[in-house]
Structure 1
């Protein structure tokens, strides 16, 4: 068995496609495909299903991935031992919402980069709930406590929400579209909106913020998002306040990987430092 074939397989599994693996490994799309086919032929097993939206691991693929990940971690440990200063290296993938990434976390990652310049971060903002068990990401920030037994959760903060508008805006509401009507924020607004007309709908909180700043009406926004916009006016709440908990999740098999632990600890520190901003 060729380790290079396993390394290619591992990157396809991580990225979900031949193209993603090719970019990471700086190989051609065709080379990645040939190496994956060679590994499957050598093992006599199908490791991945080819689907229109990418590659998905079979049961055999999951088993091989677990072994390949263990080999990769040991190889990285050897490289770290040989490297000057023992610095961390490799890629850590973190998934979260677009708003959380763009408006809060990413601007606060500079000190992590300074401390570990060889550490590569991949921030994945996706409407799908990416699986930590399938290694689609190493860490996840989610607004719900973990239910799966193999996931370990660290409570990061309590997120506060408020009603915001700009001077001169109409007395109409800005909210989520019907596909997201089950979100706690959408339900709170439906219950306490006072019968106001919904004048603008969006499927993202960033879209709602943009509509608020454009003068479409009143939006129920996370305080962390509104705090950076001096033009917004915060209105009194007509009902009980809504809060949601932010949790940092990691698969128990990854929690002690040094590079993952470094990112995990940094994120926890960032949230603790800015707790007042998050709570509103």
Structure 2
């Protein structure tokens, strides 16, 4: 007897289509799913045959979605969210499962770790994965579930929630601050050469182009540690400088304008209980600690 023609999509075909739509190439999708190129191509052909529509087109710059593919990707994303939501809540309504958070390293080390580590104690079924990187990872490609970003988001179909503003000041040991406040030439601590694009690093170069930078590190939490040795002044967010024993705020102006802190999540995850639990916890943490961040 001949096999009955399949009229409903195979979930594995959908998973492959999602990966190709997000990554844009066979090789990137294959790496993400740990399969070979042939499997990706075969699964895409299978889904197109099932739906009766062309979903992707191959171009020199990679694979792009057709209009039908764009519509299908939105539906497939909703399907993925529904599948992942299964089993993410206990019978008593407690959150259950892994939630991945991505945030800049200084903000993570100086503030987020202490607050996020409370959640698995409060909810034994909830696990947290905190990834720290100056270069943000992708929400769209599901490399993270929640992103904490500095600066107002410019685009993307995300839910963006303002967490407050982050103000700055120059911090140093009492001896270093006294010298600078008396008119001595400042010596600075700043970002390493790989991170000169960071707004605070660029601002410091513009304001003090001829000043010596005696120590460089890739994040402000590390720079605060260096400042405790007395090697120089560090331009720090107040939430770091105010908590560092051995440092004080120097009377040294100007300072860069505050930066906005935002929380981003995928719109389709707004009903996911574990993700929503982490979002609400983070928003409350920033509200309760607002004085630590403000000028």
TM-score norm. by structure 2 comes to 0.70
Residues 35 and 270 of structure 1: CA distance in aligned 2, closer, same or farther (over 3 Å): farther
Greater mean alpha carbon deviation, residues 214-223 or residues 239-248? 239-248
**Structure 1 equivalent of residue 5 of structure 2:** none
Q: Helix, strand or coil for the counterpart of 1:158? A: strand
Deviation at 1:241, TM superposition (A): 5.4
**Structure 1 equivalent of residue 144 of structure 2:** 137
Residues 178 and 75 of structure 1: CA distance in aligned 2, closer, same or farther (over 3 Å): closer
Deviation at 1:194, TM superposition (A): 8.5
Q: Helix, strand or coil for the counterpart of 2:92? A: helix
Larger radius of gyration: 2
Over the residues paired in the alignment, what is the CA RMSD in angstroms? Answer: 3.8
**Structure 2 equivalent of residue 246 of structure 1:** 261
Candidates 88, 92, 97, aligned match of 1:90:
97
Residues 197 and 129 of structure 1: CA distance in aligned 2, closer, same or farther (over 3 Å): same
**Structure 2 equivalent of residue 150 of structure 1:** 157
Preserved CA contact (<8 Å) 1:188 1:242: no
Matches within 5 A, 1:97-116: 97-116=104-123
Greater mean alpha carbon deviation, residues 145-154 or residues 174-183? 174-183
Q: Distance in 2 between matches of 1:247 and 1:189?
A: 24
Q: Does 1:226 align with 2:241?
A: yes
Q: Distance in 1 between matches of 2:290 and 2:247?
A: 21
Preserved CA contact (<8 Å) 1:164 1:219: yes
TM-score norm. by structure 1 comes to 0.73
Gaps of 5+ in 1: 22-28, 48-55
Deviation at 1:71, TM superposition (A): 3.7
Q: Distance in 2 between matches of 1:263 and 1:155?
A: 15
Greater mean alpha carbon deviation, residues 143-152 or residues 83-92? 83-92
Deviation at 1:264, TM superposition (A): 1.0
Candidates 219, 243, 264, aligned match of 2:279:
264
Candidates 74, 77, 81, aligned match of 2:82:
74
Preserved CA contact (<8 Å) 1:5 1:35: no
Cα offsets for 1:145-168 (capped at 9, x unmatched): 011151222110111111111244
Q: Helix, strand or coil for the counterpart of 1:103? A: helix
Q: Does 1:159 align with 2:159?
A: no
Gaps of 5+ in 2: 1-8, 23-27, 49-53, 57-61, 180-185
Preserved CA contact (<8 Å) 2:241 2:248: no
